[in-house]
Structure 1
Amino acid sequence: MSVEPIHTQLGPEDDDAALSGSDREKLENARPIPRITIHAWCDSAGVQRPIERAAEDRRMARAHVTVHGGGVRAATEHYAQNTTPNLLIVETRVEPEYIMKQLANLAEVCDSSTRVVVIGHFNDVALYREMMRSGISEYMVAPVSLADLIAAIESIYSAENEAPLGRTIAFVGAKGGVGASTIAHNVGWAVTNLFENDVVIADMDLAFGTANINFDQDPAQGIAEAVFAPERVDETYLDRLLSKCSDRLSLLAAPSTLERVYDFDETAFASIVEVMQATTPIVVLDVPHSWHAWTRRTLAEADEIVIVATPELTNLRNAKNIIDTMKRLRPNDPPPHLIINQAGMPKRPEIDPDDFVEPLGIKPLAVIPFDPHLFGTAATNGQMLEEMTPDHAVVQKINEVARVLTGRRELKAGSAGMLQSILKKLKGQ
């Protein structure tokens, strides 16, 4: 099913003067909405109009909002073949006794990380409680105002007991020159294209970082300004330091100069990562191959760790040391992931991938072949691999890595999300 966004011309009743005093107060107290993707599926013009108005509000400037028609049924058909967004807003006009069954069908195609706001036309306390028990983030009764919508979204992502919005994926090389930065940048690019997620790539190698070159960027400011002025780091300040690589991909670039030394304490990058997590769904940390207190802490606190290694003895030793150290620091987490890069280099003695991973006790996320022409051309042109050759086998491997690291799939075979309890309840009826 192909669903086109709907756009309507707003009437005079929709201008700012129509805001009530309580609505103005809600907007004044609302914080900016983070960099999330929001899809709204409306079943009436009365709900569609305030959502479209909310999308144009300055507090929603970071979010990507798309408005569709058709309500819950159209959303269910659409996401049977497409990835669900960070936040899903669906309108339903069915009777309360049928709403939960309707949402159960949506649950079967809903990703686990997607949060759901339901807009209904019945003020039913029992229904509201049932939805809250089932994992729905919010139930609103039509009519709704743009202030109601923004306040509801803001409350979902700013609740004190909420985990940070963003997941951090830290890439580190088992040795210098193994291509960890290149893999990190291409995986970040893949996430934005595959899942329409906003991504920030933070180049943490202040002296020799390559992200600005790989993305053909020359920002005047970047991560150095943040790390040397931690007292200034907040959402607004960090926004000014980000360089836009695409509509959904931002770069916190390294200066890549040797004008000063970069000796940092253990917590130097903690506040920067925390702010990025609070505003962006996926944060890719390009960690340099070094062992300092701050690199150790960055890896230990990341949601996912990816070690990039070439199939050589030194890389094997270093990868094992990193894996063993992370197991001690993160006893309740899975071991780091491993990507074997530059496999099959001519005339270089190599360890077979199966023999390489055996002492590590993990399976490789991907084995990427040595292809100097492909990677060299991309680096020279300041492009990502997918921009040059989207059908290349290496690009497909990187896309698979992106799927694994984000826990996403292009096609959903069944519900894996927060609405599972709806299905269980209905099966018991």
Structure 2
Amino acid sequence: MSAGQDFETRSGDAGAEDIVAPLPRITLQAFCETPAVAATMQAAIADRRMDKAHARIQMGGPAAAVEAFRAAPTPNIIVLETVSDPATLVGHLDTLSESCDPGTKVVVIGHVNDVQLYRDLIRRGVSEYLIAPLGTLDVLRTLSELYVSPGARNLGRIIAVMGAKGGVGASTVAHNVAWAIARNLDASTVIVDLDIAYGTAGLDFNQDPPQGVAEAVFAPERLDANMLDRLLSRCSDNLALLAAPAMLDRTLDLPEDAFEQLFDLLRTTVPCVVLDVPHVWSGWVRRALISSDEIVVVAGPELASLRNAKNLVDLARANRPNDSGARLVLNQVGMPKRPEIDAAEFAKALGIEVLTSIPFDAQLFGTAANNGQMIAEVQAGGKIAEAFVQIASSLTGRGEAKRSKRSLFEPLVAKLRRKA
């Protein structure tokens, strides 16, 4: 928060619609005075958005910080909790400033809502003043905003779609949901086909681009906004594709952070990113799921899907305590002659509601796949097309909007070129 902004207190975690960007590779030390704030800080540094940061929490408050940095270099961020009077706090800050390295940011957590104190802190270069009690997302949001440029405040939402098992139609769901977000909700959207060897996004959109996601992954040193612009294949006014080459010319033993740079770039340039995640299990797949803003698990109404979906839902719940839980979509429901698990039983076993159930329709889905079309193009206004719009609305938190005649993708491309 800058000195020009109105003073406000922050308390309680934000709603599911807030997007908090991951922090870069920074160092952070927090000096707390109460167990409650220390516990909140501990929860914050354990969050997925702090994976790159190196953080340490200790007790003692501002006095301990002054002693710690008398002869030691300061980290990128110092978080200070204070329960002392304003004069004592200001005295500690003045002493601390004598040993602070250039570029060190200071965040103060206090227990009084004092406008004059806030102004005094801002004049002394404090980056933010928070009021306890506060939630984990309050801390994460504040730390993130210290490193998000003013021009990139509106961060894009990353939605990861993965099948509970092979053959349940997760890619089809991902592509149709992305289409619905772009067409019905008027949001510029990019589909990223992460199945480099066998991806079908190019086929589903009748595209055969010469370049795509492989170039971004295997040449990360060249990846920038200009290169991303060249790799995107336009599917519609608001929809673009990073297609997979679907070739077996090289194996895909990718490092855990293989897609990290690509995701960070997409997040700052596109309002919505849909990841078509293949049904494999590796370090980079796990990281892609956990680091996404929304996880969609697509399952068939049968036992193997139930078991695997529960594992994915439990994984998300354990590793993303400050995020919304994984969403469940049942696909291929009502297949003739196949015994099925009822949606209510499925939901009860997983402990989450079924977002929607998509009926089995071999004729409709087969026609769309063979023609390189989306369901809404084959059967506009049908119940299945409406189901994809419902999923899109739930994932983005946006109601269905009237489609604008003006392309939202043109300003995106212009922005990418300006940044280049």
| Same fold per superposition (TM over 0.5) | yes
Find 1:397's aligned residue among 387, 411, 414. 387
Deviations 1:221-266 (A, max 9, x none): 0000110001111111111111111111100000011111011010
SS in 2 for 1:365: strand
**Paired residues for 1:103-118 under 5 Å:** none
**Paired residues for 1:14-413 under 5 Å:** 159=149, 163=153, 165-410=155-400
Residues of 1 paired with 2:323 and 2:292: CA distance? 10
Residue 158 to residue 329, structure 1, CA distance change in 2 (3 Å): closer
- 8 Å contact 1:205–1:287 — kept in the other structure? yes
- 8 Å contact 2:196–2:214 — kept in the other structure? yes
- 8 Å contact 2:296–2:329 — kept in the other structure? yes
- Shift of the alpha carbon at 1:168? 0.3
- Shift of the alpha carbon at 1:217? 0.3
Residue 163 to residue 313, structure 1, CA distance change in 2 (3 Å): farther
Residues of 2 paired with 1:158 and 1:313: CA distance? 44
Provide the TM-score with structure 2 as the length reference.
Answer: 0.59
- 8 Å contact 1:172–1:308 — kept in the other structure? yes
- 8 Å contact 1:168–1:285 — kept in the other structure? yes
Residues of 2 paired with 1:410 and 1:277: CA distance? 22
Provide the TM-score with structure 1 as the length reference.
Answer: 0.58
Identity within the alignment, %: 55
Deviations 1:172-220 (A, max 9, x none): 0000110000010001111111122110000000011000000000000
Residues of 2 paired with 1:403 and 1:287: CA distance? 20
Structure 1's unaligned 5+ residue stretches are 1-156, 413-429
Residues of 2 paired with 1:385 and 1:263: CA distance? 34
Moved more, 176-185 or 158-167: 158-167
Partner amino acid for 2:292? A
- 8 Å contact 1:243–1:252 — kept in the other structure? yes
- Shift of the alpha carbon at 1:160? 5.2
SS in 2 for 1:366: strand
Number of aligned residue pairs = 256
Residues of 2 paired with 1:163 and 1:363: CA distance? 32
Residues of 1 paired with 2:230 and 2:242: CA distance? 10
- 8 Å contact 2:190–2:274 — kept in the other structure? yes
Partner amino acid for 2:400? E
- Tell me which residue corresponds to 1:114: none
Partner amino acid for 2:394? V
- Shift of the alpha carbon at 1:161? 9.1
Cα RMSD for the two superposed structures: 1.7
SS in 1 for 2:376: helix
